[in-house]
Amino acid sequence: MSDEPRQVLILSLVTRHCFKELWMAVSLSLIIPAYNEAERLGRTLSQIFAYLSEQPTRSEVIVVDDGSQDETARAAEESFGAEAGRTEARVIRVEPNRGKGYAVRAGLLSARAPVALFSDADLSTPLTEMPKLVGPIRAGEYDFIFGSRALNRKLIGVHQPWRREQGGRFFNLVVRLATGLPYWDTQCGFKAFRMEVCRPIIEAISIDRFGFDVELIYVAQLAGLRLREWPVRWDHNEGGKVEYVRDSLRMLDEVRRIRRQAKRGFYDEAIRRAREIAARPGARAPIPLDERSAYQSDISPELAATARRI
């Protein structure tokens, strides 16, 4: 962690549904970092709740409002009240704005499920791609899986503007050269974690803004966790919060910072703890679903129909 004391998160438990079942286990935590997303967050959450309502297991949705200057939190609360159904839902408010990395970390560390996934608020990667990441983790095959636009570009429906797309490719090439990581897309906002094993790594990351993805993957790789880059469908949506020149320079500086910290032993304790947890008996065994369900992934029988099969 940085020397600056971490600010207290104002946790707002907005809505809980089915109060009698409040403490029943959830099998998946879905984290949505949001900054000034009031305009589209309602539509996003409507799609999320519709998808999760079709699943055989219980889930929770955590929206992290990263110091928004609009009505992001209110939009989330209104959607929770109208559409959450049996899905547990809550808002975490961070004041002031700290950055996407900080928001994602706050959400992940609040997750109650054994598997957690974070997704960008624009749902550039559709929710139907979720079983690609969550399924192998539940099966005990991987600890950390992250979506990739680079492994199969045929899965990209709507491309980014040419300059931005080429800039992303250049950044990932720099990351490979600077860190030795063998992956081609560290920045896709669709990543899933086996929380028991990954929690020490998530706790240790120090990058608050867009370079946090590289830090997560780099430290997890150093810890010897089982990582997988997985091709996913993706569509560019307007309204993103990245400012091309400013944030590209900032991310390059953050990559240098990650390397310096690794050399100084900044991550050593987190790596030791993650390895210790992973070595425990059963730490990488398949994760059982709710006993009421016989299905072995997020996908429901309807979604598994030929027309919707992934």
pLDDT in tens, 127-147: 999 999 999 999 999 999 999
**Residue position matching structure tokens 């095959």:** 141
pLDDT in tens, 149-170: 988 989 988 887 777 777 777 8
pLDDT in tens, 47-86: 999 999 999 899 999 999 999 999 999 999 999 988 888 8
The values of phi and psi at residue 288, to 5°, are -70, 145
- For residue 180, pLDDT over 60 is answered with yes
Q: Which residues pair with 194 in a beta bridge?
A: 115
**Banded model confidence at residue 304, pLDDT cuts 50, 70, 90:** very low
Count Cβ atoms within 10 A of the Cβ of residue 266 and give its class: 0-12 exposed, 13-18 middle, 19 or more buried: middle
pLDDT in tens, 193-212: 999 999 999 999 999 988 89
Could you give the CA distance from residue 310 to residue 303 in angstroms, rounded to a whole number? 9
Q: Specify the DSSP element, H or E, that contains 107.
A: helix 100-110
- For residue 8, pLDDT over 60 is answered with no
For the chain, which domains are there? 10-278 (3.90.550.10)
Q: Are 169 and 188 in contact (CB under 8 A)?
A: no
3-state DSSP of 266-299: CCHHHHHHHHHHHCCCCCCCCCCCCCCCCCCCCC
